[in-house]
Amino acid sequence: MKHLLKIWTVNWVHFQNPTKEELLNIWEDYDLHEIIIDDIVDQTTQDKIDTYDNHIFMVLHFPKYDYANKRYKSNEFSFILWKNFIITITSLPSNNIEKIRQDYIDETTDLEDPEKYKISPYYILYKIVDMMYDKTLDLLTKSNKDIMLLEEDIFANSWVNKKLLEEIMVKKRNLVFLKHNFIFQWEIIWEMQKTIEKFYDWQLDLYFEDISYKLDKVDNNITIQSKNVTSLTEVYNSLMSIKINSILARLTVFTLIIWTMTFIVWIYWMNVKLPMWEWDSAFLIIILLMTILSFTLWIIFKKRWWFE
């Protein structure tokens, strides 16, 4: 679907998941290189920036969270920039694009002096990338809170919890996805800053330094959370091992106590004269002896190995 916005002398055309026919029209209308169209059609294209005689083509990927499946999807953003024209293409819907477009509509409706506002394709590019990094940081903040809740759940559960284990694995998988998503963007942002200087006189260094700073925050957050989830996995495995060992220890003590009582009973099964064999109260005395012996063994194990 095509959306056109005119911001004074700048035209902004946005496509969301364009059809092949729309892409062919873009190619013909704006005399683009066929490689650009091929890259847009190919959803597996990595982040990149290509410079042509009078325009710039760039591809960046940003995460979009799928709440139904509890995982991130990759939303591919393609940018084609001329001096007074920008085309943006997304593979999935993005509310952030619409928000920026609406902000421009609101700001320029009664504007008398356009020089007061940053109206250029390159500043629009900065606004989009900046907002997407802000959105990613918000997602990471929520993810960090989820990790803290997972930590509480790990210590609250007394036995293996399949759902809890699944949540840890999902969190780990999502962080691996995020790490891979942003790993190539450092080079793209650095190259974008140098390239834009050749096409546009106004200095945007400060703005793209801000983008670099936010990308650094995103990368650090992902790294820290990945380590935290790895630590949680190790703690979870350790706790489960401790609990399993505790159960095995209880079973071992129980087996030893039962074996001791069985041994006494086995002795009195023998067809020989044993102490108390003629006593009327022998049965009760033997039962009492086994009970005292069992209780004594339990106390010894509890105090000596701090068995709980």
pLDDT tens across 199-244, in order?
A: 776 667 777 888 889 999 999 999 999 999 998 888 888 887 877 7
Query: For all residues of the chain together, what is the average pLDDT?
Result: 81
188 with 271, same domain: the answer is no
**Given its phi and psi angles, is residue 276 left (phi above 0), alpha (psi -120 to 50 degrees) or beta?**
left
Picking from 241, 266, 295, the residue at the C-terminal end of a domain is 241
Nearest to 247, CA basis, from 131, 136, 159, 170: 159
221 with 275, same domain: the answer is no
- Which of 51-60, 259-268, 272-281 holds the top average pLDDT? 51-60
Reported confidence tier of residue 135, pLDDT bands at 50, 70, 90: very high
Q: What's the pLDDT score for residue 38? A: 80
- Is pLDDT above 90 for 77? yes
Sign of CA dihedral 180, 182, 188, 190: negative
Measured CA to CA, the distance from residue 176 to residue 223 in angstroms comes to 9
Q: What's the pLDDT score for residue 44? A: 64
**Given its phi and psi angles, is residue 31 left (phi above 0), alpha (psi -120 to 50 degrees) or beta?**
left
- Is pLDDT above 90 for 131? yes
127 with 114, same domain: the answer is yes
202 with 259, same domain: the answer is no
Q: What is the pTM of this model?
A: 0.75
120 with 215, same domain: the answer is yes
Checking DSSP bridges between strand 10-16 and strand 85-90, what pairing results, if any? Answer: parallel
Decide which of 308 and 105 is more confident. Answer: 105
Q: What's the pLDDT score for residue 27? A: 78
- Is pLDDT above 90 for 252? no
Mean pLDDT of 148-160: 79
Give the CATH number for residue 126: 3.30.460.20
Mean pLDDT of 281-294: 76
Picking from 214, 241, 268, the residue at the C-terminal end of a domain is 241
Mean pLDDT of 277-291: 74
Measured CA to CA, the distance from residue 283 to residue 272 in angstroms comes to 16
250 with 122, same domain: the answer is no
The share of the chain scoring above pLDDT 90, in percent, equals 19
Nearest to 74, CA basis, from 176, 204, 196: 176
- Is pLDDT above 70 for 181? yes
Tokens of 173: 């998988």
21 with 131, same domain: the answer is yes
What total of structural domains would you count in the chain? 2
In one-letter notation, the amino acid at residue 168 is: I
What range does the domain containing 69 cover? 2-241
45 with 90, same domain: the answer is yes
- Is pLDDT above 80 for 41? no
Give the CATH number for residue 294: 1.20.58
155 with 252, same domain: the answer is no
Reported confidence tier of residue 307, pLDDT bands at 50, 70, 90: very low
Q: What's the pLDDT score for residue 117? A: 47
183 with 290, same domain: the answer is no
23 with 114, same domain: the answer is yes
Mean pLDDT of 150-159: 79
Mean pLDDT of 98-116: 66
296 with 189, same domain: the answer is no
Mean pLDDT of 35-47: 77
Q: What's the pLDDT score for residue 116? A: 44
Length reported for the chain: 308
Picking from 218, 241, 264, the residue at the C-terminal end of a domain is 241
